[in-house]
Chains A and B, each alone.
Chain A
Amino acid sequence: MDLRLDVSEQDGWSVLRVGGEIDVATAPRLREQLIKLVNDDQHRIVVDFEDVDFIDSTGLGVLIGARKRVRVHDGDVKLVCTEPRIVKVFEITGLDQVFQIYGSMSEAVAA
């Protein structure tokens, strides 16, 4: 199954654009990419979920792990997401209290 990952930089933040479905089949690639960023000393990360069609608890676990890794370096993982179905997964798990979720990339990198 298709998972698209694209890394760029904006205003001092590493931007990881994710597209497709994040589940047990694809989450390992997302985890590897996030670990690579941290290993490259990129500790301020915005994950752009605007092209994500699906996420389940496996994907949420990867984000929890990434947040833990960057917090050691005083970093942060922020999310950009407006799709109600994806935002809902964060809300019902309470993870919207853990991750800051922004409505646009410009808002995320400015905050």
Chain B
Amino acid sequence: MVLEHAPATDEVIELELPARPEVVSVARLVVGAVAAVDPLFDDERAADLRLAVSEACTNAIQAQIASPDRARGRILLRCVAQRGRIELRVRDHGGGFDPDRLPRHPAVTDPARLDHEGGLGIPLIRLLADELEFVASPGGTTVVMVFGPRMPTGRVIG
């Protein structure tokens, strides 16, 4: 008899969270637990997912806080787990942004980079996720990240 630990069908978890910095740790906990269910995702890969969702939620919360609607701010985290594949969506209502128009910072080894404390979040997600997409949603943005069991290789921030 073969024990089947991974779900045969998609497992979907949806979580609506107030757009406050304190909830990012909750998102990490949930995503870590989702990854732990799939034996194809080891601890190191689970840590990649926790980092990526932390970055995405941080951006979503900052977008929400910057928007006029901040008092009603909510972000939505959706996890879809199949065997060997985890999709994470983080949706905000922060008014949207264009990922192609992010400020370009110098390489981290360039002394001029030290003038910029921000701007590492999305490059980090690009390194960690197999697929990354920004989808304009009503009044905001949805970040869609897809992860396989291994970190994609050969990518560098620059």
Known contacts: A65-B117, A92-B157, A94-B156. The answer to whether A58 contacts B58 by CB under 8 A is yes
Q: Is the interface of B mostly helix, strand, loop or mixed?
A: helix
Q: Is B137 positioned at the interface, with any CB of A under 8 Å from its CB? A: no
> A103 on the interface (CB 8 Å rule)?
no
Within 8 A of B (CB), among A8-43: 21, 23-25
Q: How many residues of A contact B (CB 8 A)?
A: 27
- B94 → chain A closest CB, angstroms: 14
Q: Contacts A54-B50, A93-B120; is A23 near B25 (CB within 8 Å)?
A: yes
- A46 and B98 alpha carbons, distance in the complex (Å): 38
Q: Does B24 contact A (CB under 8 A)?
A: yes
How long is the Cα–Cα vector from A61 to B124 in the complex, in angstroms?
Answer: 13
B156 cross-chain contacts in A, Cβ below 8 A: 94
* Stretch from B4-12, B80-88, B106-114, B142-150 forming part of the interface with A: B106-114
Q: Contact residue range for chain B?
A: 20 to 34
Q: Is residue B91 within 8 Å, beta carbon to beta carbon, of the partner chain? A: no
Q: How far is the CB of B104 from chain A (nearest CB, A)?
A: 15
Check: B101 CB closer than 8 A to any chain A CB. Answer: no
- A contact residues around B121 at 8 Å (CB): 56-58
Spell out B's residues near A (CB within 8 Å): 21-22, 24-25, 28, 44, 47, 50-51, 54-55, 58, 61-62, 107-109, 113-118, 120-121, 123-124, 127-128, 156-158
Interface, chain A (partner B; CB < 8 A) = 1, 21, 23-25, 54, 56-58, 60-62, 64-65, 67-68, 71, 84-85, 88-89, 92-95, 97-98
